[in-house]
Structure 1
Amino acid sequence: MGIPDENIHPTATGNAAKTVAEHQAKQDLVFYSGWFCPFNQRVWISLEEKGIPYQYKEVNPYKKEKHFLDINPKGLVPAIEYQGKALYESLILCEFLEDAYPDYKPHLLPTDPFERAHARLWIDHTTKAIIPAWHRLLQGQTKEQQDAARQELYAAQGKLAQEVKGPYFAGEEFGLVDVANAPWVAREYILAEQRGYDSAQVGNGWSEYVERLATRESVGKTTSEEDKLQVIYDRYLRDEAQSEAAKAIRAGRVIP
């Protein structure tokens, strides 16, 4: 049996709640959000980094409104409405913000075509190697499962760490590779406390990179209180979570 729905806090808390309060006015861009979702946080970080005006709307994952399901048949956050038209999928939305708001800086993708493609390669590595290993370690129930996932995660993160120019992936400028990873590195304390994870084992300056991402202002402004997040992650630690990501990991499928 999973945790009853009422035990999950319905809205953002802490610094994230303050950010929500600042974005209630009507805007051309409406951000449909789930405060606890790391995929969702990517878009939220991008909005805050670029200073794009947006209206924040929280989506109750257990009672989705008809309008939200009409604009996003998947029923998943994040999603946006932009001038009455809808889009979803976190990384697609992050790139959309780059294209739709070219005058809002910083630019999260390089303007040079080669460097832009290079960034996309490592975003793809994050999607296909780092995040699945992260979730396998989180949900693994046996020592064997956890040991295998931990080593897989160290290896995947180590490959990315070798590419980090410092202080951020592309150098001085915070960019989309950093955004793609930030929500998970900000939650690494859960793996450290519950799954024997040690960022120092990754090497190549990963621990220092993680610290820079986790303490980035946009990350802090979009992160809720740890005790509220813990209620969510306790379900994953018992492998009882029913999110699409959790179900995909259990079934050995790609995270949707």
Structure 2
Amino acid sequence: MAIGELGTYPHATGAAAAVVSKHEEAQDLVFWSGWFCPYVQRAWIVLEERGIPYQYKEVNPYKKEQHFLDINPKGLVPAVEYKGRALYESLVICEFLEEAYPEHKPSLLPSDPVERAYARIWIDFIAKSVIPAFMRLMMTQEPDKQQEALGEFVKALATLAEKIQGPFFLGEQFSLVDVAVAPWIMRDYVIAENRGFHREAVGPKWKQYAETIEARDSVKSVMSEREKYADIYARYLKNEANSVAGIAFRAGRPLQ
């Protein structure tokens, strides 16, 4: 994030602040976080969903600790330290948590190798198709191109919706596929209020699925108060965001 994009809210608020307060003590797993970041929230949802012990550390985007930069040269959140070893990239972290903490249930990937690979196919689709379409819609300025981007986003969601086995993507079990898309479901109010998006346009199956995801305790618990995101997304809506995400999507490059 560029200076000013976090406004006057350097820390989590609301439900997320309550979660942070429970994770201040030292643990084998240190979670380097940014309360505002949807990629952070992927890993955070997994930690909360599976009850994995962790120590929360907020990264100041204006003055990053040297230790954080040492463990993650990209300087991006999320990152984790596990028994002194560092990892980063949100989806990599999510899968690491699956493998490093097998005793913490539920597992968020199927045990069957074919089903597990199937889940990864749709996680990849979310990363390469759904999220870039969301970002293009939010950042596009010209009205005609906004309509084009809106159509692209709805089409990507419709493709995903066709495969929902309900109530969650893989059926009864909440999974990493749901985690991969959940933070953007929680933010679709931004494009609903500013770009004419409606869940109903994707279809009733998507609308019901989105409502199920946003009601999940692990998802709700890592969200700050909605108004605290306003300054951040105002810059994206004006295509003025100088964050790594803003620059990447402006250049047509997805993030993990």
Pairwise CA distance, 1:6: 6.8
| Matched length | 255
Quick one: distance in 1 between partners of 2:241 and 2:140?
Answer: 12
- Once the two structures are superposed, the pairs formed by residues 57-76 of structure 1 within 5 Å of their partners are 57-76=57-76
- Once the two structures are superposed, the pairs formed by residues 25-64 of structure 1 within 5 Å of their partners are 25-64=25-64
Residue 133 and residue 46 in structure 1: after superposition, are their counterparts in 2 closer, same or farther (change >3 A)? same
CA shift digits 1:180-239 (9 cap, x unpaired): 000000111111001100111112500110001111101111000011011111111111
Unaligned runs of 5+ in 1: none
Provide the residue aligned with 1:126 in structure 2.
126
Pairwise CA distance, 1:245: 1.3
Amino acid at match of 1:180: A
CA contact (8 A) 1:8 1:232 kept: no
Residue 28 and residue 197 in structure 1: after superposition, are their counterparts in 2 closer, same or farther (change >3 A)? same
Provide the residue aligned with 1:193 in structure 2.
193
Quick one: distance in 2 between partners of 1:96 and 1:204?
Answer: 34
Quick one: distance in 2 between partners of 1:254 and 1:49?
Answer: 26
CA contact (8 A) 1:91 1:180 kept: yes
CA contact (8 A) 2:214 2:220 kept: yes
1:173 has 2:168 as partner: no
CA contact (8 A) 1:46 1:179 kept: yes
Residue 174 and residue 6 in structure 1: after superposition, are their counterparts in 2 closer, same or farther (change >3 A)? closer
Provide the residue aligned with 1:224 in structure 2.
224
1:15 has 2:43 as partner: no
CA shift digits 1:6-57 (9 cap, x unpaired): 7241000000000000000110000000000001100000000000000000
CA contact (8 A) 1:52 1:104 kept: yes
Which deviates further from its counterpart, 236-245 or 2-11?
Answer: 2-11
Which deviates further from its counterpart, 199-208 or 166-175?
Answer: 199-208
Pairwise CA distance, 1:103: 0.6
Residue 111 and residue 238 in structure 1: after superposition, are their counterparts in 2 closer, same or farther (change >3 A)? same
Provide the residue aligned with 1:236 in structure 2.
236
CA contact (8 A) 2:13 2:224 kept: yes
Amino acid at match of 1:124: D
Pairwise CA distance, 1:151: 0.6
Q: Secondary structure at the match of 1:218?
A: helix
1:213 has 2:213 as partner: yes
Q: Secondary structure at the match of 2:162?
A: helix
Q: Secondary structure at the match of 2:106?
A: coil
1:4 has 2:4 as partner: yes
Amino acid at match of 1:14: G
Pairwise CA distance, 1:242: 1.0
Which deviates further from its counterpart, 20-29 or 140-149?
Answer: 140-149
- Once the two structures are superposed, the pairs formed by residues 110-149 of structure 1 within 5 Å of their partners are 110-149=110-149
Amino acid at match of 2:206: W
Residue 13 and residue 117 in structure 1: after superposition, are their counterparts in 2 closer, same or farther (change >3 A)? same
Pairwise CA RMSD of aligned residues? 1.2
Pairwise CA distance, 1:171: 0.7
Amino acid at match of 2:109: L
Amino acid at match of 1:218: S
Structure 1 stretches of at least 4 aligned residues deviating more than 4 Å after TM superposition: none
Quick one: distance in 1 between partners of 2:98 and 2:197?
Answer: 34
Q: Normalising by structure 2, report the TM-score.
A: 0.97
How much identity, in percent, do the aligned residues show? Answer: 57
Unaligned runs of 5+ in 2: none
Quick one: distance in 2 between partners of 1:90 and 1:6?
Answer: 21
Residue 155 and residue 192 in structure 1: after superposition, are their counterparts in 2 closer, same or farther (change >3 A)? same
Q: Secondary structure at the match of 1:205?
A: helix
Q: Secondary structure at the match of 2:43?
A: helix
CA contact (8 A) 1:26 1:55 kept: yes
Q: Secondary structure at the match of 2:87?
A: strand
